[in-house]
Amino acid sequence: MSKREKYSFAAAPATAKKFWKSLEAKENPAAFAKAAEPEFPMGVGTVEDAASVSRRGFLTVATATAAAIGLEGCVRRPVEQILPYAQAPEYLNPGVPMHYATSVERRGEALGLLVTTHEGRPTKIEGNPEHPASLGSTDLLAQAMVLDLYDPDRSNAPKQGEAKKTFADVDALMASIVRTHSADAGAGLRILATPSISPSFLRLRAAVQQRFPQAKFYTWTPVNESNAREGARLAFGEPVVAHHDYQGAKIILSIDSDFLQTESGSIRSARRFADGRRLSQATDSMSRLYVVESTHSTTGANADHRLALAPSKITAYLRALAKELATAHRIELGPLGAALQGASNAGLPTKWISNVAKELVGARGRSVIVAGSRQPAAVHALVHALNAALGNHGATIVFSSVADTTETDQTASITAFAAGLEGAKTAIILGGNPVFDAPADLDLATKLARVETSLHFSGTHDETCHATKWHVPRAHELESWGDLRALDGTVTIQQPLIAPLFGGRTDLEVLAQLAGERNWRGYYVVRQTLRGAAGVQNGFESEWRRVLHRGFVAGSAEPPRPGVIDMSRVATALGRSEPAVDGFEAVFLACAKMLDGRHANNAWLLELPDPLTRITWDNVALLSPKTASELGVRNGDMIRVTRDGTSIELPAWKLPGQPDKAVGLLMGWGRKHAGRYGNDVGFDVYPLRRSDALHSAAVQVAKLAGSYPISQTQDHDSMEGRPIAIDGTLEEFKADPTFAIHRSPTPRTLPLWREVEYRGHKWGLVIDLGACTGCNTCVIACQSENNIPTVGKAMVAKGREMHWIRIDRYFVGEDANEPEVAFQPLACQQCEEAPCENVCPVEATAHSPEGLNDMAYNRCIGTRYCANNCPYKARRFNYFNWHTKNEADEEVPPTRQMQFNPNVTVRMRGVMEKCTYCVQRIETARTATKIAGRPMRDGDINVACAQACPSNAITFGDLNDAASRVSRQNQVSRHYKLLADIGAQPRTTFLAKVRNPNPEMSA
């Protein structure tokens, strides 16, 4: 077999118990190193699972045996080996994947997950249907997380400076730290962590605090909830979390909140929001969404009415609205009313004030006003006040307490940390990447350098590690024991799917060591916390097993409560308000893909098109078309954004709907030490982000000479008046519930060939454009399920991206500055009269009796005729061997192969590929049910995109089963077939989007 060097896999913790044993055995290094060797010397290098037939890399062997064409699989070269376990792990049935419940933290929310493992390799992440926060779906980042696990650039050893160390050294170091600070009671000990929602973390922090009374804890994460917390403190006297019922609300007003994508708890929000708008017949009603925002967000793209305002004007708008409510509509604001007298409508569209106010009052107790995390505390407070006055509290909005009540304002905290570093002996940084993403004015790097002992626990050897004395690998979330508290209080368990591939400690373990716990391994820590929390002493083991199985502690959610608001405190808070800026303002945006930069080395996310700009592999400065033309910049022209002295240079991009004079800057790009994919990709905007103004700031913008090449997956924004992503207003829908099919009628043409009669199953997919928020989660879900490669920026520019499902984004409407947006997820439509099938000279794509366009990769010779003849251009061609070497001849790392789904062929160069409705899942379920001796039921199979979709926009199932969800969706009056007039009889159905505009707004 090949000469590729073996990797070393750390042995599993000695502590592991039942759910862990399998992996412990699994991690038998030798076995795995063998397992990691590729089958074929010429090196598509596929991981040969112990004791399982390898299903992958076939196509490469085909090249090798090109001499003996057509005989691949017949001549036995090279000799292949089977490596059974020496000692078989419990429960493990080679060839049958297992699913474990775990969870991951996302912006203060705990997402319950179900992870699929093949012989111990986590390959696919799904949502845990029973978990309140994920509801069976995941977000974009959770889908991509599995690739981070196999990131080839993860650090594989502790380092002191650049010198490699062992974990023994780390333990010694920890011990010495404990010794030193036992002396000074921790006076010189500073610990910076990311804000935690883990009960164990809080418990251990208290313990450490107790042991070192003088030690100081700080928290920082660049995209945080501080403003919301402070706002709540102002309004209620305590930091509480608001839960909005987007389903029940009739009128939703978003004040710069991207609650559908980047805000905390977005999955649940998206699901509920969509649920409030699913129209099946004319009598149904739907909510109306007003969005006032300082950029063009995913939420804005789903708004019925959208107002783009420069960040500094948003407060003014809310005040004006409040005043209108108080004066014109006499809602009870108490002392607040007086504070609002100063508010003026200057520079604000009056219809947006009068109409919105009228609507809100009209929907008392059935409306929601939500403020985004970028908005200052005062705005959050005012929003709470208005919601209270409108009677929404307790109706559409309820509250629960936060995980960490002691958590202070992040900016204050990190500033204090930076200041406190003077005279600190030891600085321990748990996760995060503060040197890269902390406010630039704090200059952490130099301050850290002065500290005697500084450690950074992190997954990769990132910017912060270069500033600290020590770097210790931090276990990936899929490798860690932990517990998380969901927003609603549900205690969720995080259990490892695999032993840390390259070793690594978790935050809990570090704290446990500091706290001097004897059993400091995560496993014991979590059990101990749970034992305390769950309050079950007797029968704990069985409870523990139940919890691990379910993934969370049932019934641990805290009963939600209405808030008791204090108007006067809000009033005083409103007193201090920022003056409006005229001139340019920068808005610092949480990137839907990078979030704050933590995913910067994730090729899937890098290549994922931005929901609105469709840009891949880069971030840009978002400008409104008007502003751009004033500056005289075209797309891609370089501009300089300056904030007193400091300046960054990056390409400008016209985003219809971006507020004038507001420069949207996406955070998390331009990393220096992210890894092979993320280094120097995009442009770092953090230098402009200061502790005084974290979310938006006045800047100067200047056009520079020269421009920068940008790779987009879609460069044409208009639908050219074609009936593609069909949408209509509620009026149109009520007038004619079948308006969509009238715009895209199916012709009565005779079929070319004898029509197939689908006796057994008839797989179908229905996509509800009304529910689709355009968040792109399905794209990554498909990518991780179907072994879809990434191709790199240059190839995307050439139009060779490989995504099987893509989301087409069209701008609708006349005004380029106030566009409506139409999203359309598009994968292979599985046409019944498929144009692709008849033109393939070798019958590599043929029709299955269940109506799928089967794609036999191993038969495909790559004439690309099918792609030409596909009206939807849903087919993707492997122009190169993406899975072995990319176009730049960089080897694809072997760790990447560990993520591959063994049930899907890895396609080689020269082969056409496309969506198959996850046929591997269909066949697996078919066999399983056959063996179980029962027919396949609705829900036995779900395709990856549908499973991941947060808003349940995609439904898959058997159209021959009248009771199935997909059949019912297929009957919804909004349904239509895309490009039906071609007569290809697509199997996938779309449900037209219905907008709910307020007639008075246009009046």
Q: How far is the CB of 82 from other proteins (least distance, A)?
A: 5
Using rule CB under 8 A, residue 749 touches other proteins: no
Answer for which of 187, 719, 925, 1001 binds other proteins (CB under 8 A) is 719
Using rule CB under 8 A, residue 698 touches other proteins: no
The site map against other proteins for 410-439 (x = CB under 8 A) is ------------------------------
The site map against other proteins for 964-1003 (x = CB under 8 A) is ---------------x--x-x-------------------
Site for other proteins in 930-969 (CB under 8 A): 930-931
Q: Three-state SS across 737-803?
A: CCHHHHHCCCCCCCCCCCCCCCCCCCEEEEEECCCCCCCCHHHHHHHHHCCCCCCCHHHHHCCCCCC
Among residues 403, 404, 471, 476, the alpha carbon closest in space to that of 218 is found at: 404
Specify whether the CB–CB gap between 81 and 52 falls below 8 A: no
Measure the CA–CA gap between 143 and 608, rounded to whole angstroms: 12
Q: Which is nearer to other proteins, 858 or 970 (CB)?
A: 858
Sheet of strand 646-654, all strands in order from the earlier edge strand to the far edge: 696-698, 585-589, 662-666, 621-623, 646-654, 637-643, 700-707
Answer for which of 856, 925, 980, 1001 binds other proteins (CB under 8 A) is 856
Measure the CA–CA gap between 148 and 141, rounded to whole angstroms: 10
Q: Three-state SS across 27-43?
A: CCHHHHHHHHCCCCCCC
Answer for which of 5, 73, 184, 578 binds other proteins (CB under 8 A) is 73
Q: Which is nearer to other proteins, 41 or 394 (CB)?
A: 41
Q: Which is nearer to other proteins, 472 or 612 (CB)?
A: 612
Measure the CA–CA gap between 364 and 592, rounded to whole angstroms: 33
Using rule CB under 8 A, residue 616 touches other proteins: no
Q: Which is nearer to other proteins, 627 or 824 (CB)?
A: 824
Q: How far is the CB of 765 from other proteins (least distance, A)?
A: 16
DSSP string, 275-332: HTT---STT----EEEEEESS--HHHHT-SEEEE--HHHHHHHHHHHHHHHHHHS---
Sheet of strand 109-118, all strands in order from the earlier edge strand to the far edge: 98-106, 109-118, 121-127
- Enumerate residues 6+ apart whose C-beta is below 8 A from 340: 319, 322, 323, 326, 333, 574
Q: Three-state SS across 675-720?
A: CCCCCCCCCCCHHHCCCCCCCEEECEEEEEEEECCCEECCCCCCCC
Q: How far is the CB of 266 from other proteins (least distance, A)?
A: 25
Using rule CB under 8 A, residue 838 touches other proteins: yes
Measure the CA–CA gap between 121 and 101, rounded to whole angstroms: 15
**Window of 31-39, 360-368, 587-595, 941-949 that interacts with other proteins by CB under 8 A:** 31-39
**Window of 457-465, 576-584, 618-626, 927-935 that interacts with other proteins by CB under 8 A:** 927-935
Q: How far is the CB of 920 from other proteins (least distance, A)?
A: 5
Measure the CA–CA gap between 543 and 536, rounded to whole angstroms: 8
Using rule CB under 8 A, residue 362 touches other proteins: no
Q: Which is nearer to other proteins, 83 or 536 (CB)?
A: 83
Site for other proteins in 860-919 (CB under 8 A): 860-865, 867-869, 871-873, 875-881, 887, 903-905, 908-912, 916, 919
Specify whether the CB–CB gap between 411 and 226 falls below 8 A: yes
Q: Which is nearer to other proteins, 738 or 838 (CB)?
A: 838
Using rule CB under 8 A, residue 848 touches other proteins: yes
What angle is formed at CA 324 by the lines to CA 321 and CA 330, rounded to 5 degrees?
A: 130
Q: Which is nearer to other proteins, 680 or 715 (CB)?
A: 715
Question: Tell me, what amino acid is at 571?
Answer: A
The site map against other proteins for 759-798 (x = CB under 8 A) is ------------------------------------x--x
Helices marked H in 516-624? 522-534, 540-550, 567-575, 603-607
Answer for which of 4, 6, 8, 72 binds other proteins (CB under 8 A) is 72
Measure the CA–CA gap between 621 and 651, rounded to whole angstroms: 6
Q: How far is the CB of 555 from other proteins (least distance, A)?
A: 34
Specify whether the CB–CB gap between 218 and 191 falls below 8 A: yes
Answer for which of 50, 142, 189, 429 binds other proteins (CB under 8 A) is 50
Using rule CB under 8 A, residue 499 touches other proteins: no
Q: Where are the beta strands (DSSP E) in 799-937?
A: 806-812, 820-826, 845-847, 853-855, 876-877, 912-913
**Window of 356-364, 381-389, 515-523, 848-856 that interacts with other proteins by CB under 8 A:** 848-856
* Total residues interacting with other proteins, rule: CB under 8 A: 119
Q: How far is the CB of 899 from other proteins (least distance, A)?
A: 17
Answer for which of 69, 168, 705, 888 binds other proteins (CB under 8 A) is 69
Q: Which is nearer to other proteins, 67 or 1003 (CB)?
A: 67
Answer for which of 630, 843, 890, 1000 binds other proteins (CB under 8 A) is 843
- Enumerate residues 6+ apart whose C-beta is below 8 A from 223: 107, 262, 373, 590, 595, 596, 667
Answer for which of 13, 38, 43, 57 binds other proteins (CB under 8 A) is 57
Using rule CB under 8 A, residue 36 touches other proteins: no
Q: Which is nearer to other proteins, 20 or 470 (CB)?
A: 20
Q: Which is nearer to other proteins, 175 or 842 (CB)?
A: 842
Specify whether the CB–CB gap between 898 and 121 falls below 8 A: yes
Q: Which is nearer to other proteins, 164 or 634 (CB)?
A: 634
Answer for which of 5, 18, 82, 629 binds other proteins (CB under 8 A) is 82
Q: How far is the CB of 918 from other proteins (least distance, A)?
A: 9
Using rule CB under 8 A, residue 800 touches other proteins: yes
User: For the chain, what's the residue count?
Assistant: 1003
Cβ burial 462-476 (10 Å sphere, 16+ → b, else e):
bbbbbbbbbbbbbbb
Distances from the Cα of 665 to the Cαs of 373, 620, 687, 869, in angstroms? 16, 7, 11, 40
Among residues 986, 955, 990, the alpha carbon closest in space to that of 976 is found at: 990
Q: Three-state SS across 502-517?
A: CECECHHHHHHHHHCC
Answer for which of 5, 90, 91, 96 binds other proteins (CB under 8 A) is 96
Site for other proteins in 638-697 (CB under 8 A): none
- Enumerate residues 6+ apart whose C-beta is below 8 A from 887: 791, 792, 794, 795, 880
Using rule CB under 8 A, residue 98 touches other proteins: no
Site for other proteins in 551-570 (CB under 8 A): none
Query: E strand or H helix at 98, and its extent?
Result: strand 98-106
Using rule CB under 8 A, residue 722 touches other proteins: yes
Answer for which of 3, 76, 179, 748 binds other proteins (CB under 8 A) is 76
**Window of 65-73, 134-142, 174-182, 990-998 that interacts with other proteins by CB under 8 A:** 65-73
Q: Which is nearer to other proteins, 88 or 440 (CB)?
A: 88
Site for other proteins in 266-295 (CB under 8 A): none
Q: How far is the CB of 940 from other proteins (least distance, A)?
A: 16
Q: Which is nearer to other proteins, 797 or 1001 (CB)?
A: 797
The CB-based long-range contact list for 62-66 (8 Å cut-off, 24+ gap) reads 62/858, 62/908, 63/908, 64/40
Answer for which of 416, 445, 846, 1001 binds other proteins (CB under 8 A) is 846
**Window of 26-34, 269-277, 300-308, 542-550 that interacts with other proteins by CB under 8 A:** 26-34
Structure tokens at 319: 């005040």
Measure the CA–CA gap between 1002 and 735, rounded to whole angstroms: 19
Q: Which is nearer to other proteins, 696 or 830 (CB)?
A: 830
